[in-house]
Structure 1
Amino acid sequence: MRKILVLILLFSFKNLISQETKCLNSDFYNPNSEIVRIKNTSESIEKIIQSKLRIDSLKLYILKNTYVEFPKWSGYRRKGIDSGFKIILLNSSTNDFEFLIKGNKIDIKRQVFYKNEWKNLTPLKKSTIMICGTGYFKKGIIKTKDFFTFLAPCIEGELKVKSRFVFGNTIYSNEFEGLIDERFIEK
Protein backbone atom coordinates (compact mmCIF):
# COMPACT_ATOMS: atom_id res chain seq x y z
CA MET A 1 0.00 0.00 0.00
CA ARG A 2 2.84 2.35 0.87
CA LYS A 3 4.50 1.69 -2.52
CA ILE A 4 1.28 2.49 -4.36
CA LEU A 5 0.95 5.78 -2.47
CA VAL A 6 4.53 6.73 -3.37
CA LEU A 7 3.89 5.91 -7.05
CA ILE A 8 0.71 8.00 -7.08
CA LEU A 9 2.58 10.94 -5.58
CA LEU A 10 5.40 10.59 -8.10
CA PHE A 11 3.01 10.51 -11.06
CA SER A 12 1.03 13.48 -9.79
CA PHE A 13 4.20 15.55 -9.44
CA LYS A 14 5.88 14.26 -12.58
CA ASN A 15 5.89 17.71 -14.18
CA LEU A 16 7.79 19.17 -11.27
CA ILE A 17 10.32 16.35 -11.24
CA SER A 18 10.86 15.95 -15.00
CA GLN A 19 11.03 19.61 -15.97
CA GLU A 20 14.63 20.53 -16.74
CA THR A 21 14.18 24.27 -16.46
CA LYS A 22 11.35 26.61 -15.67
CA CYS A 23 10.22 28.69 -18.64
CA LEU A 24 9.15 32.31 -18.49
CA ASN A 25 5.42 32.92 -18.25
CA SER A 26 4.41 34.66 -21.48
CA ASP A 27 2.71 37.45 -19.48
CA PHE A 28 6.18 38.56 -18.33
CA TYR A 29 7.92 38.21 -21.69
CA ASN A 30 9.22 41.37 -23.35
CA PRO A 31 11.05 40.78 -26.64
CA ASN A 32 12.69 44.21 -26.36
CA SER A 33 14.65 43.25 -23.24
CA GLU A 34 14.99 39.51 -23.50
CA ILE A 35 18.69 38.72 -23.28
CA VAL A 36 21.08 39.24 -20.37
CA ARG A 37 24.82 39.64 -20.90
CA ILE A 38 26.95 37.56 -18.54
CA LYS A 39 30.66 37.14 -17.94
CA ASN A 40 32.49 35.17 -20.64
CA THR A 41 33.71 31.73 -19.67
CA SER A 42 36.04 29.47 -21.60
CA GLU A 43 33.52 26.60 -21.67
CA SER A 44 31.09 28.92 -23.50
CA ILE A 45 33.33 29.02 -26.51
CA GLU A 46 34.70 25.45 -26.66
CA LYS A 47 31.71 23.99 -28.54
CA ILE A 48 31.75 26.83 -31.05
CA ILE A 49 35.46 26.52 -31.74
CA GLN A 50 34.93 22.80 -32.40
CA SER A 51 32.19 23.56 -34.95
CA LYS A 52 32.95 24.71 -38.47
CA LEU A 53 32.82 28.50 -38.39
CA ARG A 54 33.62 30.67 -41.34
CA ILE A 55 36.83 32.51 -40.57
CA ASP A 56 36.75 36.29 -40.68
CA SER A 57 33.13 36.74 -39.68
CA LEU A 58 30.87 37.85 -36.87
CA LYS A 59 28.75 34.90 -35.74
CA LEU A 60 25.78 34.55 -33.41
CA TYR A 61 25.50 31.04 -32.02
CA ILE A 62 22.93 29.35 -29.76
CA LEU A 63 24.24 26.61 -27.49
CA LYS A 64 21.21 24.32 -27.48
CA ASN A 65 20.27 22.55 -24.25
CA THR A 66 22.97 24.39 -22.31
CA TYR A 67 21.26 26.06 -19.37
CA VAL A 68 23.14 28.39 -17.06
CA GLU A 69 21.94 30.26 -13.98
CA PHE A 70 20.92 33.88 -14.46
CA PRO A 71 22.95 36.30 -12.33
CA LYS A 72 21.38 37.23 -8.99
CA TRP A 73 20.76 40.79 -10.24
CA SER A 74 18.75 39.57 -13.25
CA GLY A 75 15.07 40.47 -13.38
CA TYR A 76 14.32 36.90 -14.46
CA ARG A 77 15.32 35.64 -11.00
CA ARG A 78 12.58 37.81 -9.46
CA LYS A 79 10.12 36.18 -11.88
CA GLY A 80 11.08 32.69 -10.71
CA ILE A 81 13.29 31.84 -13.70
CA ASP A 82 16.67 30.66 -12.51
CA SER A 83 18.37 29.65 -15.77
CA GLY A 84 18.53 30.38 -19.49
CA PHE A 85 20.31 29.05 -22.56
CA LYS A 86 23.56 30.52 -23.84
CA ILE A 87 23.92 32.81 -26.84
CA ILE A 88 27.44 33.57 -28.04
CA LEU A 89 28.38 36.53 -30.24
CA LEU A 90 31.81 35.67 -31.65
CA ASN A 91 34.09 37.94 -33.65
CA SER A 92 36.38 35.59 -35.57
CA SER A 93 37.44 38.34 -37.95
CA THR A 94 40.74 40.21 -38.02
CA ASN A 95 39.00 43.53 -37.23
CA ASP A 96 37.24 44.94 -34.19
CA PHE A 97 33.48 45.31 -34.67
CA GLU A 98 31.61 48.44 -33.50
CA PHE A 99 27.88 48.55 -32.83
CA LEU A 100 25.31 50.75 -31.11
CA ILE A 101 24.07 49.97 -27.60
CA LYS A 102 20.63 51.40 -26.81
CA GLY A 103 19.78 51.83 -23.14
CA ASN A 104 22.38 49.24 -22.06
CA LYS A 105 20.83 46.66 -24.43
CA ILE A 106 22.46 45.06 -27.45
CA ASP A 107 20.10 44.68 -30.41
CA ILE A 108 19.64 40.90 -30.40
CA LYS A 109 16.07 39.74 -30.96
CA ARG A 110 14.28 36.40 -31.20
CA GLN A 111 12.47 35.49 -34.43
CA VAL A 112 10.17 32.57 -35.19
CA PHE A 113 9.41 30.75 -38.43
CA TYR A 114 5.66 31.14 -38.83
CA LYS A 115 3.51 30.60 -41.95
CA ASN A 116 6.59 30.06 -44.14
CA GLU A 117 8.45 33.23 -43.13
CA TRP A 118 10.61 34.58 -40.32
CA LYS A 119 8.67 36.90 -38.01
CA ASN A 120 9.82 39.22 -35.24
CA LEU A 121 8.21 39.04 -31.84
CA THR A 122 6.40 42.06 -30.44
CA PRO A 123 5.55 42.92 -26.83
CA LEU A 124 1.95 42.47 -25.68
CA LYS A 125 2.09 45.74 -23.76
CA LYS A 126 3.85 48.96 -24.66
CA SER A 127 6.56 49.69 -22.13
CA THR A 128 7.44 53.22 -21.17
CA ILE A 129 11.16 53.58 -20.65
CA MET A 130 12.28 56.82 -19.10
CA ILE A 131 15.22 58.36 -20.90
CA CYS A 132 17.29 60.89 -18.98
CA GLY A 133 19.22 62.04 -22.07
CA THR A 134 22.67 60.84 -21.03
CA GLY A 135 24.21 57.55 -21.98
CA TYR A 136 21.14 56.12 -23.69
CA PHE A 137 23.05 55.48 -26.92
CA LYS A 138 26.67 54.43 -26.75
CA LYS A 139 29.20 52.60 -28.86
CA GLY A 140 30.03 48.97 -28.13
CA ILE A 141 33.08 47.14 -29.40
CA ILE A 142 33.72 43.43 -29.72
CA LYS A 143 37.44 42.99 -30.24
CA THR A 144 38.91 40.68 -32.84
CA LYS A 145 38.94 37.02 -31.74
CA ASP A 146 36.73 37.89 -28.74
CA PHE A 147 33.17 36.94 -27.81
CA PHE A 148 30.23 38.04 -25.67
CA THR A 149 28.04 35.60 -23.76
CA PHE A 150 24.31 36.18 -23.20
CA LEU A 151 21.47 34.23 -21.63
CA ALA A 152 17.87 34.05 -22.83
CA PRO A 153 14.96 32.29 -21.14
CA CYS A 154 12.79 29.63 -22.67
CA ILE A 155 9.22 30.92 -22.99
CA GLU A 156 5.95 29.25 -22.11
CA GLY A 157 3.57 28.84 -25.03
CA GLU A 158 1.36 26.46 -26.91
CA LEU A 159 2.81 26.88 -30.40
CA LYS A 160 5.92 24.82 -31.25
CA VAL A 161 8.10 26.83 -33.61
CA LYS A 162 11.53 26.98 -35.16
CA SER A 163 13.35 29.99 -33.65
CA ARG A 164 16.55 31.95 -34.10
CA PHE A 165 18.13 35.17 -32.87
CA VAL A 166 19.21 38.06 -35.06
CA PHE A 167 21.87 40.67 -34.25
CA GLY A 168 21.13 43.97 -35.93
CA ASN A 169 19.36 42.97 -39.13
CA THR A 170 22.06 40.91 -40.79
CA ILE A 171 23.63 38.34 -38.46
CA TYR A 172 21.47 35.28 -37.76
CA SER A 173 22.03 32.50 -35.26
CA ASN A 174 21.61 28.81 -35.79
CA GLU A 175 18.01 27.60 -35.46
CA PHE A 176 16.45 25.85 -32.47
CA GLU A 177 13.00 24.59 -31.53
CA GLY A 178 10.92 26.15 -28.81
CA LEU A 179 7.47 27.18 -27.73
CA ILE A 180 5.88 30.61 -28.07
CA ASP A 181 2.60 32.31 -27.32
CA GLU A 182 1.14 33.13 -30.74
CA ARG A 183 0.12 36.61 -29.53
CA PHE A 184 3.81 37.70 -29.70
CA ILE A 185 4.18 37.02 -33.43
CA GLU A 186 4.30 40.21 -35.47
CA LYS A 187 1.31 40.44 -37.79
Structure 2
Amino acid sequence: MPVPTDLPSTPFKYTVPFTASANAALTAAAQAERKEATEIIQRATINYLIDVGYMPPEEADRFKLFWWLVDETVLAAQKICRDGGFARSITLDAIHSCMNNPKWVDGYRTYVRDDIFKNGNPEKGPINREIGFRIRAGIGGVVEKTPQGKAATVKVLGEIIQSYTPMVDYDRDAFLHSRAAVA
Protein backbone atom coordinates (compact mmCIF):
# COMPACT_ATOMS: atom_id res chain seq x y z
CA MET A 1 0.00 0.00 0.00
CA PRO A 2 1.54 3.36 -1.00
CA VAL A 3 2.24 5.91 1.70
CA PRO A 4 1.00 9.46 1.04
CA THR A 5 4.01 11.47 -0.11
CA ASP A 6 3.23 14.54 1.97
CA LEU A 7 3.67 12.82 5.32
CA PRO A 8 6.96 13.02 7.22
CA SER A 9 8.80 9.72 7.27
CA THR A 10 11.62 8.12 9.17
CA PRO A 11 14.75 7.97 7.02
CA PHE A 12 15.97 4.53 6.09
CA LYS A 13 19.67 3.70 6.17
CA TYR A 14 21.41 1.15 3.99
CA THR A 15 24.92 -0.23 4.03
CA VAL A 16 26.34 -0.17 0.53
CA PRO A 17 29.55 -2.09 -0.21
CA PHE A 18 31.91 -0.63 -2.82
CA THR A 19 35.00 -2.05 -4.47
CA ALA A 20 38.25 -0.24 -3.72
CA SER A 21 38.22 1.45 -7.14
CA ALA A 22 34.59 2.57 -6.81
CA ASN A 23 35.31 3.88 -3.32
CA ALA A 24 38.37 5.75 -4.60
CA ALA A 25 36.27 7.32 -7.36
CA LEU A 26 33.54 8.24 -4.88
CA THR A 27 36.06 9.77 -2.48
CA ALA A 28 37.67 11.76 -5.31
CA ALA A 29 34.26 13.01 -6.51
CA ALA A 30 33.24 14.01 -2.99
CA GLN A 31 36.45 15.92 -2.47
CA ALA A 32 36.30 17.63 -5.87
CA GLU A 33 32.65 18.60 -5.44
CA ARG A 34 33.08 19.54 -1.75
CA LYS A 35 30.26 17.16 -0.83
CA GLU A 36 29.86 14.24 1.52
CA ALA A 37 30.12 10.83 -0.15
CA THR A 38 26.68 9.97 1.24
CA GLU A 39 25.18 12.96 -0.57
CA ILE A 40 26.58 11.75 -3.89
CA ILE A 41 25.26 8.23 -3.26
CA GLN A 42 21.85 9.53 -2.20
CA ARG A 43 21.49 11.83 -5.21
CA ALA A 44 22.65 9.17 -7.65
CA THR A 45 20.15 6.69 -6.24
CA ILE A 46 17.24 9.13 -6.27
CA ASN A 47 18.11 10.34 -9.79
CA TYR A 48 18.13 6.71 -10.94
CA LEU A 49 14.70 6.13 -9.38
CA ILE A 50 13.43 9.28 -11.10
CA ASP A 51 14.94 8.29 -14.45
CA VAL A 52 13.42 4.80 -14.47
CA GLY A 53 10.02 6.07 -13.34
CA TYR A 54 9.75 4.63 -9.83
CA MET A 55 9.65 8.05 -8.16
CA PRO A 56 6.26 9.80 -8.37
CA PRO A 57 6.66 12.99 -10.45
CA GLU A 58 5.55 15.30 -7.62
CA GLU A 59 8.16 13.77 -5.30
CA ALA A 60 10.81 13.94 -8.02
CA ASP A 61 10.10 17.65 -8.47
CA ARG A 62 10.27 18.16 -4.72
CA PHE A 63 13.69 16.46 -4.50
CA LYS A 64 14.98 18.53 -7.41
CA LEU A 65 13.73 21.75 -5.81
CA PHE A 66 15.28 20.80 -2.46
CA TRP A 67 18.65 20.13 -4.11
CA TRP A 68 18.50 23.33 -6.15
CA LEU A 69 17.75 25.47 -3.09
CA VAL A 70 20.54 23.86 -1.05
CA ASP A 71 23.04 23.99 -3.93
CA GLU A 72 22.31 27.66 -4.66
CA THR A 73 22.86 28.53 -1.01
CA VAL A 74 26.15 26.61 -0.91
CA LEU A 75 27.29 28.37 -4.10
CA ALA A 76 26.43 31.72 -2.49
CA ALA A 77 28.52 30.83 0.58
CA GLN A 78 31.42 29.74 -1.63
CA LYS A 79 31.24 33.02 -3.57
CA ILE A 80 31.26 35.00 -0.32
CA CYS A 81 34.40 33.12 0.73
CA ARG A 82 36.07 33.57 -2.66
CA ASP A 83 35.29 37.29 -2.55
CA GLY A 84 36.88 37.62 0.91
CA GLY A 85 33.61 38.23 2.77
CA PHE A 86 33.69 35.28 5.17
CA ALA A 87 32.19 36.02 8.58
CA ARG A 88 31.03 33.78 11.41
CA SER A 89 27.49 34.36 10.08
CA ILE A 90 28.32 32.78 6.68
CA THR A 91 25.18 30.61 6.73
CA LEU A 92 22.88 33.57 7.32
CA ASP A 93 24.88 35.70 4.87
CA ALA A 94 24.50 33.07 2.13
CA ILE A 95 20.75 32.87 2.77
CA HIS A 96 20.52 36.66 2.57
CA SER A 97 22.37 36.54 -0.75
CA CYS A 98 19.93 33.93 -2.08
CA MET A 99 16.95 35.97 -0.92
CA ASN A 100 17.97 38.62 -3.46
CA ASN A 101 16.97 36.09 -6.13
CA PRO A 102 13.16 36.01 -6.56
CA LYS A 103 13.39 32.51 -8.09
CA TRP A 104 15.12 31.23 -4.93
CA VAL A 105 12.53 32.89 -2.66
CA ASP A 106 9.65 31.49 -4.71
CA GLY A 107 11.27 28.05 -4.70
CA TYR A 108 11.77 28.16 -0.94
CA ARG A 109 8.15 29.24 -0.44
CA THR A 110 6.99 26.39 -2.68
CA TYR A 111 9.16 23.90 -0.80
CA VAL A 112 8.02 24.91 2.70
CA ARG A 113 4.40 25.28 1.53
CA ASP A 114 3.79 28.38 3.63
CA ASP A 115 5.01 31.84 4.57
CA ILE A 116 8.80 31.60 4.57
CA PHE A 117 9.12 33.62 7.78
CA LYS A 118 6.55 31.61 9.76
CA ASN A 119 7.92 29.74 12.77
CA GLY A 120 6.83 26.21 13.58
CA ASN A 121 6.55 24.94 10.02
CA PRO A 122 7.76 21.31 10.03
CA GLU A 123 8.80 21.60 6.35
CA LYS A 124 11.44 24.22 7.21
CA GLY A 125 13.52 22.23 9.69
CA PRO A 126 14.92 19.60 7.32
CA ILE A 127 15.83 22.02 4.53
CA ASN A 128 17.28 24.62 6.88
CA ARG A 129 19.43 22.01 8.62
CA GLU A 130 20.55 20.68 5.25
CA ILE A 131 21.49 24.18 4.09
CA GLY A 132 23.64 24.70 7.19
CA PHE A 133 25.24 21.27 6.95
CA ARG A 134 25.98 21.57 3.24
CA ILE A 135 27.40 25.09 3.59
CA ARG A 136 29.79 23.81 6.23
CA ALA A 137 30.86 20.95 3.96
CA GLY A 138 30.95 23.19 0.89
CA ILE A 139 33.38 25.70 2.38
CA GLY A 140 35.29 23.37 4.69
CA GLY A 141 33.81 25.33 7.58
CA VAL A 142 35.02 25.06 11.16
CA VAL A 143 32.16 25.54 13.62
CA GLU A 144 32.45 27.74 16.67
CA LYS A 145 32.40 25.76 19.93
CA THR A 146 31.04 26.60 23.36
CA PRO A 147 33.31 26.31 26.41
CA GLN A 148 31.73 22.85 26.89
CA GLY A 149 32.97 21.80 23.44
CA LYS A 150 29.56 21.76 21.76
CA ALA A 151 28.68 23.61 18.56
CA ALA A 152 27.59 27.17 19.35
CA THR A 153 24.20 28.46 18.21
CA VAL A 154 23.15 32.00 17.32
CA LYS A 155 19.42 32.74 17.57
CA VAL A 156 18.00 35.18 15.02
CA LEU A 157 14.65 36.92 14.65
CA GLY A 158 12.86 38.01 11.50
CA GLU A 159 14.72 35.53 9.30
CA ILE A 160 13.66 32.37 7.48
CA ILE A 161 15.85 30.46 9.92
CA GLN A 162 15.55 30.70 13.69
CA SER A 163 19.20 29.95 14.43
CA TYR A 164 22.48 29.00 12.84
CA THR A 165 25.82 27.55 13.86
CA PRO A 166 28.52 30.22 13.56
CA MET A 167 31.79 29.32 11.90
CA VAL A 168 35.22 30.49 12.95
CA ASP A 169 37.05 29.59 9.76
CA TYR A 170 36.86 27.82 6.42
CA ASP A 171 39.22 26.10 3.98
CA ARG A 172 41.06 29.29 3.05
CA ASP A 173 43.65 27.49 0.92
CA ALA A 174 40.99 26.08 -1.39
CA PHE A 175 39.25 29.42 -1.81
CA LEU A 176 42.35 31.61 -2.01
CA HIS A 177 43.69 29.24 -4.69
CA SER A 178 40.42 29.39 -6.66
CA ARG A 179 40.32 33.18 -6.21
CA ALA A 180 43.84 33.52 -7.65
CA ALA A 181 42.90 31.28 -10.59
CA VAL A 182 39.92 33.53 -11.41
CA ALA A 183 41.98 36.74 -11.22
Q: What is the TM-score with the length of structure 1 in the denominator?
A: 0.25
Rg larger in structure: 1
- The higher relative CO (CA closer than 8 Å, separation ≥ 6) is in 1
Determine which structure has the larger strand proportion and give its number.
Answer: 1
> TM-score normalized by structure 2?
0.25
